[in-house]
Amino acid sequence: MIITEGLRFSYGETPILDGLDLRVDRGEIVGIVGPNGAGKTTLLKLLSGVMHPTGGRVVVDGKDLNSTGDAERARLVSVVPQNPQLPAGYRALDVVLMGRNPHLRIFEWEGAHDVEVAARAMRLTDVWDMADRPISSLSGGERQRTVLAMALAQASPVMLLDEPTTNLDLAHQVGIMDLVRGLLPDRLDCAVVAMHDLTLAAQYCDRLVMLSEGKSYADGPPLEVLTEENILAVYGASVFVIAHPQSGTPVVLPASGVGNGVLSTSPLGLIGAESPHQRSEASRGS
């Protein structure tokens, strides 16, 4: 589990995170949502310990990340970065084996056990068949699952995922999120996912934390966090929130044509201002 207390971070005078208290319990997937610049990426970097907070602290499984060594930190928290640069010239298995780094000393090389852990992780994310292929020959979805396998090979109790579904098509988005969901609670204690796609976040996260200007604006079950009012206040965008026909989780639909924060009335009042037919005519003409 992760606990942050009064987490602050600033670049010079500009505060990015301004006193954030967060708690992620065992068995939970927590989604971090919020507009660009709200501090999602910074928060993940602080949670993974690669950056140190300017105030407050991050505690993972009872250990303060400010005072843990590099390898120990990586044994506590694994990360699936947003846009990993996978070096060409390596096979998928070589890349997944890099995930074993925190379990090895500097001069130590991977042994049979590490290959086995990597192979199991690749089996779980369904890329084992590509173990021998050059990483550059894999598709976007396969690469993302390889990166997930690399994070799994770290065998850390906590996993952080930064926009794991961007650049993936619909089926692969769902595939990745199903995979992550399936890791809990046996293979992973808890996960924190930064996401732009609010609907997908609502579908897969037990709890959402909506960041606004470095603070937690709302924190709770998706149904409570993703309201039309909250989204308008934090994103400045008018949306309709309806219930998912299968799960009942909130589905966020942008109110099109009205744009970004200039709206003062309820989006419901705007229906009919422009019919779908007219809109498609207009877009065809442009």
Partner 1 sequence: MIKQWLPKAVSRVKGADSTALPAIGGAIPETMSYPWRRLAVGLAAVAVIGMLAATQGSVDIPPLTVFKMVVAKVPLVSVAESWPDSWDTILWRLRMPRIVLAGIVGGALALSGATYQALFRNPLAGPSLIGATAGAGLGATFVLVTGVPLYFKDTSLVPIAAFAGSIAAVMGAYTIARRAEGMSLITLILAGVAISSAAGALTSLLMIRSDPDLRPVLSWLLGGFGSAQWKHSVLVLPYIVPSLLVVLFYGRVLNVMQLDEDHARQLGVNVERTKLVLIIAATLSTAAAVSFTGPIGFVGLIAPHAVRLTWGNDYRSLVPMAAIVGAGFLILADLAARTVASPAELPVGVVTALCGAPFFLYLLRRREPITA
Closer to partner 1 by Cβ: residue 21 or 129 = 129
Element at 5 (helix H, strand E): strand 2-11
Site string for partner 1, 45-74 (x = CB under 8 A): x--x-x-------------------xxxxx
Contacts 24+ apart (CB under 8 A), 229-238: 231/198, 232/261, 232/263, 234/34, 234/35, 234/38, 234/210, 235/35, 235/261, 236/35, 236/260, 236/261, 237/261, 238/263, 238/267, 238/270
Q: How many residues bind partner 1 (CB under 8 A)?
A: 55
The four Cα atoms 29, 160, 190, 98 give a dihedral, to 10 degrees, of: 140
Q: Does 233 bind partner 1 (CB under 8 A)?
A: no
Query: Applying CB under 8 A, which of residues 131, 161, 205, 208 lies at the interface with partner 1?
Result: 131
Query: Applying CB under 8 A, which of residues 36, 85, 283, 286 lies at the interface with partner 1?
Result: 85
Q: Does 91 bind partner 1 (CB under 8 A)?
A: yes
Closer to partner 1 by Cβ: residue 65 or 226 = 65
Which tokens is 165 given? 């579904």
Rounded CA-CA distance 3/57 in Å is 8
Q: How many CB atoms lie within 10 A of CB 269?
A: 9
* β-pair type (29-33, 190-194): parallel
Closer to partner 1 by Cβ: residue 136 or 247 = 136
Q: Does 84 bind partner 1 (CB under 8 A)?
A: yes
Rounded CA-CA distance 68/59 in Å is 10
CB of 250 to partner 1, least distance (A): 31
Closer to partner 1 by Cβ: residue 126 or 213 = 126
CB of 43 to partner 1, least distance (A): 14
Using an 8 Å Cβ cutoff, are 42 and 17 in contact? yes
Site string for partner 1, 98-127 (x = CB under 8 A): xx-xxxxxxxxxxxxx-xxx-xxx-xx---
The contacts of residue 78 (CB under 8 Å, 6+ apart) are: 99, 151, 152, 154, 156, 158, 159, 160
CB of 145 to partner 1, least distance (A): 14
Q: Does 186 bind partner 1 (CB under 8 A)?
A: yes
Query: Applying CB under 8 A, which of residues 32, 40, 42, 128 lies at the interface with partner 1?
Result: 128
Q: Which amino acid is at 159?
A: M
Residues that bind partner 1 (CB under 8 A): 45, 48, 50, 70-75, 77-79, 81, 84-91, 93-94, 98-99, 101-113, 115-117, 119-121, 123-124, 128-129, 131-132, 152, 154-155, 186-187
